[in-house]
Structure 1
Amino acid sequence: MTGIYKRHWAGDRDRPALALHCMMGNGAYWGPIAGRLEGRIDLAGFDMPGHGRSDPWEPQPQGPDFHTSVTRIAASFIDRPLDLIGHSLGATVALRIAVAAPEAVRSLTLIEPVLFAAAPDAEQITRDQTMAEMIAQGRDDDAARAFIDIWGAAPFDSLPPATRRAMADQIKLVVDTDETLTRDRAGILDEGRLETIDAPVMIILGQDSPLVIHRIADALAPRLADVGRAIVPSAGHMLPLTHADQTAGLIALNLDRA
């Protein structure tokens, strides 16, 4: 697909892997993780549309939604079984691929998956409604602030002006994913689908992440055939950035299980 910025951290060519970043992030933050894995996997990544160095997201009237587009881009990287790693939105894309093609996944590492449909939460529903109202009123900065102050690594107002502007431009993509993340339009949670994943799965959470994230893990884990869970102390939602050592170590544990 054109306009997508690809990333690559060379490693063992017999151990291909793909890493998928979060909303409002970009593929660059997998670099420190790859470095800590010391070449044991050949890691690919990309910047999602409208993120990092990729072209802006331009939805088409009859085209796929954002989550579906990202899933198709990710799937285009897969030509043999590989280790699949995803964070936040990226984790839901990884899970969507795994239920659609379990034979393509050697191991699956889900860091803070935001599949809210797995654990409906009144507080999260209120957050989403408030943010959608702000966007409808043209208050994109306020909507981005509300999002980042919950899910970001640092408060919105502490970020550089250029970063804040980019996040305000991206905030509509959060609403665009709501049908998939909150109502599971992709059918990830349909009966029997999670149960088809036979690869080792690791669910990694930050201790200080919103409670809904822990509830999502509680809902997903019993349906997975081979699952491990880990909580990183003193970490929040952005633990691949803030706790790269621990995140890489837990990814390595799951690689060992495959």
Structure 2
Amino acid sequence: MSVQTGFAPFVHHLGQGPRRVLALHCTLGFGGAWNGMAKVLGDRLHFIAPDLPSHGKSPDWDGQSDFPATVYDTTLALMDDAPMDVIGHSFGAVTALRLAARAPEKVRSITLIEPVFFAIAKADAPETLADHDRVAMPFTQAAAAGNMEEAARAFNRMWSTEENVWNTLPERSRAAMTRGIHVVPSTYALLYEDTDGILAPGVLGGLDMPVQLVRGELAHGAIAATLEGLRDRIPGAVLDVIPEAGHMAPITHPQAVAEVFERVLARA
């Protein structure tokens, strides 16, 4: 798999604490989205939070290289020699899971917030994935038609608990999401087909670092099935549900997510 030549992500540094955390954001987000949690935990933690390609202040994805491989390789290069705590949200959580599976010596603990690793839902509860794909149809159709702004609007609506949230966003935010939306189809093989072999026998069962799983109370059924499948496959994994939260819990409910995160840090 080809990695984008010369790509170097922009990295946000949040908090002044002594313990370093690698924090990986969701698609259409940016590294600064961890600021709410950093405000809660910043005297104890230092968040190292890279922007994805075509997101935030990072350079654009070239559209030719393997997007997930570029994200994985450049993220791994940011890690310390000593094991780090890793927290990820949505696609960032899938990258975090790959780091734990492929470079466990680098990972002190792992916290996965609503990972979109739908290969698990596909295997365990395919009806939930069919429902997700039905909800995603407006995005899928807009992206196929090349209407990137409409695709970004539809994608944003999929993962929001608010109606018409797109219309309330500043133009700058809408433009940033439209800029990044083209990366989404490039993730499908990894997310749906498990092209990295994470579900191969012995991979998840061999994880021995503390593993914390998190979802919002309002999570989509495919997300709930994915997290339940991870809990069943990873020895000792703990699943917590954030009351009244949807997919964007790290942003909408930073205090509650921070409290869960503190518990896994205490176990590591």
Cα RMSD after superposing both structures: 1.7
Give distance in 2, aligned partners of 1:45 and 1:80: 17
Of 78, 82, 85, which aligns to 1:83? Answer: 85
Of 230, 238, 244, which aligns to 1:220? Answer: 230
Q: Is the 8 A contact 1:102 1:196 kept in 2?
A: no
Equivalent residue number for residue 71 of structure 1:
72
Matched, 1:53 2:61: no
Matched, 1:253 2:263: yes
Equivalent residue number for residue 44 of structure 1:
48
Q: Is the 8 A contact 1:22 1:87 kept in 2?
A: yes
For residue 9 of structure 1, report the CA deviation from its aligned partner: 2.8
Give distance in 2, aligned partners of 1:24 and 1:38: 24
Aligned length: 254
Equivalent residue number for residue 124 of structure 1:
132
Equivalent residue number for residue 94 of structure 1:
96
Give distance in 2, aligned partners of 1:152 and 1:22: 13
Normalising by structure 2, what TM-score? 0.89
Of 219, 222, 226, which aligns to 1:209? Answer: 219
Normalising by structure 1, what TM-score? 0.92
Of 5, 8, 12, which aligns to 1:7? Answer: 12
For residue 138 of structure 1, report the CA deviation from its aligned partner: 2.2
For residue 128 of structure 1, report the CA deviation from its aligned partner: 4.7
Q: Is the 8 A contact 1:153 1:242 kept in 2?
A: no
Q: Does the C-alpha gap of structure 1 residues 129 and 178 become closer, same or farther in structure 2, counting only changes over 3 Å? A: farther
5+ residue gaps, structure 2: 1-5, 123-128
Counting only pairs closer than 5 Å after superposition, residues 10-21 of structure 1 correspond to structure 2 as 10-13=15-18, 15-21=19-25
State the Cα deviation string for residues 59-90 of structure 1 (Å, max 9, x = none). Answer: 33xx3x11111111110112221101001110
Matched, 1:146 2:154: yes
Percent identity of paired positions between Structure 1 and Structure 2: 37
Code of the aligned partner of 1:8:
H
Q: Is the 8 A contact 1:33 1:244 kept in 2?
A: yes
Equivalent residue number for residue 185 of structure 1:
195
Q: Does the C-alpha gap of structure 1 residues 2 and 172 become closer, same or farther in structure 2, counting only changes over 3 Å? A: closer
Q: Is the 8 A contact 2:114 2:215 kept in 1?
A: yes
Give distance in 1, aligned partners of 2:262 and 2:233: 23
